Amino acid sequence: MTFELPGMLNLIISTIVFFIAAWYCNRYLDEQGIGKGMMRGMLVFALASLVSWGAGEMVDLARKKIEGPQPASQASQDLSQLLKAGGQSQP
């Protein structure tokens, strides 16, 4: 099993950004005097998730600008080859 480097880079950067964003959100809410609880935890999680998702999208956008568009997937051809190898007819 091989890992695609750009996909792994996206995962690593978005994970790091998630924890940084969660820390900043917690710090900001502490400064505002908002007590810790389930709603605050969900708010921090949601905000950190959105920031993390945005960072991942920025990594993808930068990769596409640097490398150019990727070729179309060969999944349908691979599926037909697997079905032929398995002795089943193609739908």
Q: What is the DSSP string of 4-46?
A: -HHHHHHHHHHHHHHHHHHHHHHHHHHHTTPPPSHHHHHHHHH
Packing angle between helix 5-31 and helix 38-67, nearest 10 degrees? 140
pLDDT at 79 (0 to 100) = 62
- pTM here? 0.67
Q: Say whether pLDDT at 32 is over 70.
A: yes
**What is the tens place of the pLDDT at every residue in 33-81?**
988 999 999 999 999 999 999 999 998 888 888 877 666 555 556 666 7
**What is the tens place of the pLDDT at every residue in 2-22?**
455 656 888 899 999 999 999
Burial of 56 (0-12, 13-18, 19+ CB in 10 A): buried
Residue 89 DSSP class:
P
